Structure 1
């Protein structure tokens, strides 16, 4: 009976029970795609990672939500970096292969940092009024019409006028599923506000007809950096706070340098380990 070891870590965590939980199966050789999806559904976390050998990087990551596979996600990449650095005795600089490409990783001062891909932006065709309605907010809470950003995982970015507006959002499921739709079965939006280099952010996504919230989203942080890189908001060094409404605080560090390179970092805390016998 094959045995598959896993570790559970909290990513973007400032304390033991903060951050966004992640399961990492450290050697997924022999698992089929269907088995990976079934295990991700069993773990029932935002994402579960399956590690495989790579000829392009130090390891290859397959990233699954309980419902589907993702080309890239930030907290799984950084959490896997933490696990693999210890397991493989990697140095402070290494790389991990995702379905969206090879991601450089740097570790220093207790932070794991990834370099994201350059951003692409496209118009969402949504008005401020539509964005406000689907988030359950007044029209004057939204600063600008939304747009789709993609540094590896495409998401709808919506800028709010205040931190209070971000925290007050209560998405309306029917409107959200329709208006934040990337493709059938995938609706996702990232609401953000920044002042004095501190950003308050929330990531909403639809699943089985309900709208859920992610406590800490590295891919969306990268997309926010992409927006900054495309809108002359660089160089920057921002602290992002996410997960407050869920009572699951996450802290992310976003840097966009003078060359418009995008970096997302955070701390990782080891929590548990075990194995599945299949």
Structure 2
């Protein structure tokens, strides 16, 4: 009976049992699409990664599945997979082939050689206005957004809503079924100032503890509308309300309303290893 090994990592944290959970199948060559999807549902994390041989000059190709469908791009699976692959390969940069192109992840080590941080260069998002923003605010249970409500598409589709205070973000109790009917990856509600920000991301499956694919767009949104400087790194705290506190670092480079580059970073820690026998 074939066995399929996987690693569990907590991502955007350096503390086990916090951050966003991720399963990484390190050799998925024997798995077909239906089995990958079934394994992602069986595990039940927000995403599961399947590693395959590179096809376009990267270090490896990865496929990302949530419990319902395959995803072209997602942040914490890319960072977590880079940590899992980078440790044994002793690489300084891991280039992962995704459905949204090759994403390089630069890895940092401490004096002992242990991986402690990674920074991914994300696809530059396309920005779109959101129709009927008042309806979205009603779904979220809040009155107004400080900045225009916009959608950022970097392979995932994220709406960014900016609230006046972190207490407003913490108090949100959105209409889950209505959110699930939106044709987006997630709705991200943020508040803060300077380089310190709080975020909650709501999607069809509830609330996400750490959303790397949204952290870059959040930095873009704040820079485009003048709340942070272009090139300034912000720190985003997420997952507090659901008991999985996470820390994400993000910055956007650009000017004149145009985005040139996006970088998102954080830590990850391996917490378990196992195998499926199918």
Same fold (TM over 0.5): yes
Tell me the matched-pair count: 265
Q: What displacement does 1:187 show? A: 5.9
**Distance in 1 of aligned mates of 2:66 and 2:177:** 22
C-alpha contact 2:166 2:191 (8 A) present in aligned 1: yes
Q: Which runs of 5+ in 2 are unaligned?
A: 110-115
SS in 2 for 1:245: helix
SS in 1 for 2:204: strand
C-alpha contact 1:126 1:145 (8 A) present in aligned 2: no
- Higher mean C-alpha displacement, 58-67 vs 230-239: 230-239
**Distance in 1 of aligned mates of 2:94 and 2:48:** 21
C-alpha contact 1:200 1:242 (8 A) present in aligned 2: yes
Matched, 1:273 2:276: no
Matched, 1:134 2:128: no
Q: What displacement does 1:17 show? A: 1.5
Aligned counterpart, 1:72: 73
C-alpha contact 2:12 2:247 (8 A) present in aligned 1: yes
Aligned counterpart, 2:204: 206
After TM superposition, what 4+ stretches of structure 1 lie above 6 angstroms from structure 2? none
Matches within 5 A, 1:85-234: 85-87=86-88, 89-109=89-109, 110-127=116-133, 129-137=134-142, 139-140=143-144, 142-178=145-181, 181-182=182-183, 188-207=186-205, 212-228=206-222, 230-231=224-225, 233-234=229-230
C-alpha contact 2:157 2:185 (8 A) present in aligned 1: no
Q: What displacement does 1:231 show? A: 4.0
Q: TM-score, normalised to structure 2's length?
A: 0.90
C-alpha contact 1:177 1:187 (8 A) present in aligned 2: no
C-alpha contact 1:190 1:204 (8 A) present in aligned 2: yes
**Distance in 1 of aligned mates of 2:192 and 2:19:** 20
Q: What displacement does 1:93 show? A: 1.6
Q: What displacement does 1:175 show? A: 3.5
